[in-house]
Structure 1
Amino acid sequence: MKKIFTTSALLAAFSLQAQFTVTIQAPADFKDQDAILYTLNGSKDIIFSKEQSKNNTWTFKYPKNYMGMMKVYFPGSNNTFNFISENKNVNVKLETQGNKVKDIVYLDEANSVMSKLQEGSQKKELILPALSQIKEYYKDNTDFGKALKIEISRLSGNADGIDQTQHPFVYYYNTNYAKYLSNDAAKKVSQDDVINFIDKSNDMLETSSLLRPVLVSYLNNGGNTNVTGSVDKLLDRLKVETPRGQTVLSELIDVFDAYDMQEFKDKYLNLAKNLKCTITDRLATTLKSNANVDMGAVFPNNKFQTATNTTAKSLHDIKADKKIVIFWSSTCSHCETELPQLLAKYNDLKSKNVQVVGLSLDVDKDSYSKKISAFPWVNDSELRGWNSSYVETYNVHATPTYFILDANNKIINKPEHVGDVLEYFKLK
């Protein structure tokens, strides 16, 4: 019995050590009550929990080890900010104005160190090339030449001075960013180097936010004519049935979707669908988002928030022979060009009993309201930008994105541009 008690005590002690707290403080005039904490898996934000303010302070207790990027989102005001965890307490103070976050003060050591390194890295990539060019016009023995030389030397330094044992994630992120993603990294790193990095890296790869940009750089390195060869080489090494292999496969499917590389998206989406192993949550999310918008699938219903030009409570409540669903934004330049073309044919569409439903990925209420005043069709928005539920539910990667539904809300067409919409209804 004593042995069992001792083991239990050790497990309890380990559990307490593994837990850390994220504390966020805001000024008294910051009106949000709710805050949502996210972790990261590849490029996907994963909701951990939602907390309410107590005296304008939010406290999240994280129950296990986590090293990587985190995010807090305030849905009431659509404020978001990022920070890191090194499995130690995080303490952040927000400076706000008009219910908007204007500055973030990191009070814990890890985030303070990371913030300073990020600021230095930005200066290095933006300022160093310019200073190097200017230096050619000044002699080293002049006062300005000496000052230039000192500043160039300072900015040329890297994160090697970070103690890896004290700040493992800060060291991991900055070292690998410099090696694989800095301005001149592409000239020095081969595809084999990237494959080795992805294959041998620890779990911080998934939580670091580096995976997606490293994969894009890897594909660019292989060239447009060898995409399949590059992807197959990578997946063969990783073994696509493994958790990392599935995460990489999921990221690649999303990359191909975002860059409109339909042939490659279809190829690797089919590979994912045909896997016989246990599917990870990360890949399952990608499969579900894509299945939701397959041709012939019933378009998932959406409960309206504050819809205009309708008394319907949800998308499925709208009765029409056909529906055109558009995901758009008032800040989208392509939307600015395309939606007026749809507006010009709106009466013709109505005569065919076709209803248009615009679901906006806007953030600013005033901008959204001003824009929809010109649109007589159904409009709605969560006013959460790319944090909107639309993004994952309907696999939206860009605006505008169009779907045409039949009377039973089945997807019958996925036009790429407004011209395709008008051509489908013979209005072009």
Structure 2
Amino acid sequence: MFKKIIFSLFLISYIAQSQNVVKGTFTGVNENKWVILYQLKGVNQNYIANADLVAGKFSFNIPENSPKGMYRLTYDIENNGFVDFLYNNESVEVEFDPKNQVETLKIIASEENKLYYNYLNEIEIIRQKLDANQLTFFRTVEEDKKEFLKDEYSKVFELYKSTQTKFEEISVGKLANHFIKSNQKYYSPAIINTPQEYLNSEKEHFFDFLDFNDSELRNSVFINQKIIEYVFYLSQSDDVQVQTALYKNAVVEVLQKIGENKALASEVSGTLMLAFTQMQNVTLVDFMLESIYKKLPKEFIDDALVLEIENKMKLSIGKIAPDFSWDVKGKQQRLSEYNVSDTYILVFWSTTCSHCLVEVPELYEYTKNNKNIRVIAVSLENDELGFNVYSEKFTNWTNVLGLEKWQNSIAQQYNITSTPTYFVLDASKKIIAKPEHIQDVKAFLLENSSPK
């Protein structure tokens, strides 16, 4: 028995020692109640665990076999509140004020993260000086001041190079070394004379220090963040068509840099497609899906991702509205074959919706005598009673009964979650507007519809 107790104590001790801890303290006024721990890998946030905050403190046990890489402590999802850290088989402890995390973050334990965050803080200060000198130079006319700025820039540039080299050397053999080397940014040894030359230099050298095949960087969001920055912040124009062309060129350039690494090309393409999906940019999403992503080898195509994107984009402005049919005196009429007008307003509403009973009759009065506009009113109901009453009032509309309300097949095709919901379609049934309220519908029609 005694031997068993000794063995049990030894086993408990061994298990305890085989685990590292990630813990932290929130300083200042704290309204947060929990923290979630994720492992970051490419575009994915892999959930690890969650912990309650007790007296402003939290703690996670990390098993010994946990993969090294970049992890994230998320404490405020709505306001994008998180702290990223490197994990390399050592305990990590942080302290910060959640209302001012950037300026208050302290690494209490973890030599790896102390080194990495010291680097980030030091190098950022120097970069700000270099950028400030360069920007001031562009705005300066006096030659003597320009010469002074050139001299100052050269001094700061040398400090930048020596600081970068110092941290690269002292981080050799550590996980942080991969991020420190790849975080380096190209700066011209001498100040650049014009903004256009500066922008050209930024784009030409943006990926000089990034190793796309570094597996340690892949176990993080580092590569994806750099690519997002290149595509969306170095390619800007106020002209929509020019902006689209710039985005396309930037995407092609990034994929050329990646080369034959199909796994990374798939991951990066997925990241960019999701970003363009969020922007509801039909042109760019279609370009990436059809010209890039679907042309990858089959094993690198995520069918679930394709379905998700296509579902999110099917109701975007510029897309053909999802087709559906309805009954007209025993015959089926299809939206795609319905050719009675130049402009269609598709409105989803319900006779049990108080907002609808205000807006929809107003819309009827506004459109009933306009021959260039046809309203297709899909009434989402649990029974026919209300629909029958209003169909007799809205005689100049096409009235469609959608039984089973939210579960109605047409409502689900159009992702309807609230009523009234409006879509404006052109003669080919392409979605040209998605007004939010009746006033928006009127404003759009006033600006775009042909005279009555």
Letter in 1 for 2:288: Y
Query: 1:212-291 residue pairs with structure 2 within 5 A?
Result: 212-214=225-227, 217=230, 226=249, 230=253, 233=256, 237-239=260-262, 242=263, 244-258=264-278, 261-270=281-290, 272=293, 277-278=298-299, 284-285=304-305, 287-288=307-308, 290-291=310-311
Letter in 2 for 1:159: Q
Residue by residue, what CA displacement relative to the aligned partner does 1:204-234 show, whole Å, maximum 9, x if unpaired? 2350433243365279689567467546645
Aligned partner of 1:173 in structure 2 is 179
Contact 1:83–1:111 (CA under 8 A) maintained in structure 2: no
Task: Return the alpha-carbon distance in structure 1 between the equivalents of residues 199 and 163 of structure 2.
Answer: 14
1:408 paired to 2:411: yes
The correspondence for 1:294, drawn from 314, 334, 337, is: 314
Task: Return the alpha-carbon distance in structure 2 between the equivalents of residues 81 and 45 of structure 1.
Answer: 12
Distance change >3 Å, CA 234–CA 284, structure 1 → 2: farther
Residue by residue, what CA displacement relative to the aligned partner does 1:250-309 show, whole Å, maximum 9, x if unpaired? 02313433565432311332464676744688x8457435435534499xxxxxxxxxxx
Aligned partner of 1:21 in structure 2 is 21
Q: Return the offset for 1:171.
A: 2.4
Higher radius of gyration, 1 or 2: 2
Task: Return the alpha-carbon distance in structure 2 between the equivalents of residues 203 and 289 of structure 1.
Answer: 29
Q: Percent identity?
A: 13
Task: Return the alpha-carbon distance in structure 2 between the equivalents of residues 200 and 252 of structure 1.
Answer: 19
Aligned partner of 1:30 in structure 2 is 30
Contact 1:320–1:407 (CA under 8 A) maintained in structure 2: no
Residue by residue, what CA displacement relative to the aligned partner does 1:167-202 show, whole Å, maximum 9, x if unpaired? 6343222322224799979627759x9599554222
Q: Tell me the secondary structure at the aligned position of residue 314 of structure 2.
A: coil
Q: Return the offset for 1:68.
A: 4.0
Aligned partner of 1:320 in structure 2 is 349
Contact 2:293–2:301 (CA under 8 A) maintained in structure 1: no
Q: Select between 106-115 and 59-68 the one with higher mean Cα deviation.
A: 59-68
Aligned partner of 2:104 in structure 1 is 103
Aligned partner of 2:49 in structure 1 is 49
The correspondence for 2:164, drawn from 159, 164, 167, is: 159
User: Normalising to structure 2: TM-score of the pair?
Assistant: 0.51
Q: Tell me the secondary structure at the aligned position of residue 30 of structure 1.
A: coil
Task: Return the alpha-carbon distance in structure 1 between the equivalents of residues 298 and 363 of structure 2.
Answer: 48
1:204 paired to 2:217: yes
User: Normalising to structure 1: TM-score of the pair?
Assistant: 0.54
Aligned partner of 1:306 in structure 2 is none
Aligned partner of 1:379 in structure 2 is none
Distance change >3 Å, CA 284–CA 136, structure 1 → 2: farther
Q: Return the offset for 1:106.
A: 1.4
Residue by residue, what CA displacement relative to the aligned partner does 1:309-341 show, whole Å, maximum 9, x if unpaired? xxxxxxxxxx9349xxxxxxxxxxxxxxxxxxx
Distance change >3 Å, CA 257–CA 416, structure 1 → 2: farther
Distance change >3 Å, CA 424–CA 236, structure 1 → 2: farther
Task: Return the alpha-carbon distance in structure 1 between the equivalents of residues 323 and 60 of structure 2.
Answer: 39
Task: Return the alpha-carbon distance in structure 2 between the equivalents of residues 100 and 230 of structure 1.
Answer: 35
Letter in 2 for 1:247: E
Contact 1:169–1:204 (CA under 8 A) maintained in structure 2: no
Letter in 2 for 1:408: A
Distance change >3 Å, CA 274–CA 288, structure 1 → 2: farther
Distance change >3 Å, CA 148–CA 196, structure 1 → 2: closer
Contact 1:293–1:411 (CA under 8 A) maintained in structure 2: no
Task: Return the alpha-carbon distance in structure 1 between the equivalents of residues 299 and 249 of structure 2.
Answer: 30
Q: Return the offset for 1:124.
A: 2.2
Letter in 2 for 1:60: F
Aligned partner of 1:336 in structure 2 is none
Contact 1:257–1:265 (CA under 8 A) maintained in structure 2: yes
Task: Return the alpha-carbon distance in structure 2 between the equivalents of residues 180 and 152 of structure 1.
Answer: 10
Q: Return the offset for 1:407.
A: 6.6
Contact 1:228–1:264 (CA under 8 A) maintained in structure 2: no
Residue by residue, what CA displacement relative to the aligned partner does 1:83-136 show, whole Å, maximum 9, x if unpaired? 311312210123467x99972221133333222222223222222244576896
Task: Return the alpha-carbon distance in structure 1 between the equivalents of residues 15 and 203 of structure 2.
Answer: 40
Q: Return the offset for 1:351.
A: 4.3
Contact 1:106–1:112 (CA under 8 A) maintained in structure 2: yes
Query: 1:319-358 residue pairs with structure 2 within 5 A?
Result: 320-321=349-350, 347-349=358-360, 351=362
Contact 2:35–2:52 (CA under 8 A) maintained in structure 1: yes
Task: Return the alpha-carbon distance in structure 1 between the equivalents of residues 187 and 171 of structure 2.
Answer: 23
Distance change >3 Å, CA 159–CA 15, structure 1 → 2: farther
Q: Select between 48-57 and 146-155 the one with higher mean Cα deviation.
A: 146-155
Task: Return the alpha-carbon distance in structure 1 between the equivalents of residues 30 and 248 of structure 2.
Answer: 52
Q: Return the offset for 1:24.
A: 1.2
Contact 1:67–1:207 (CA under 8 A) maintained in structure 2: no
Aligned partner of 1:119 in structure 2 is 121
Aligned partner of 1:377 in structure 2 is none
Contact 1:22–1:89 (CA under 8 A) maintained in structure 2: yes
Aligned partner of 2:393 in structure 1 is none
Contact 1:39–1:70 (CA under 8 A) maintained in structure 2: yes
Distance change >3 Å, CA 226–CA 106, structure 1 → 2: closer
Q: Tell me the secondary structure at the aligned position of residue 210 of structure 1.
A: helix
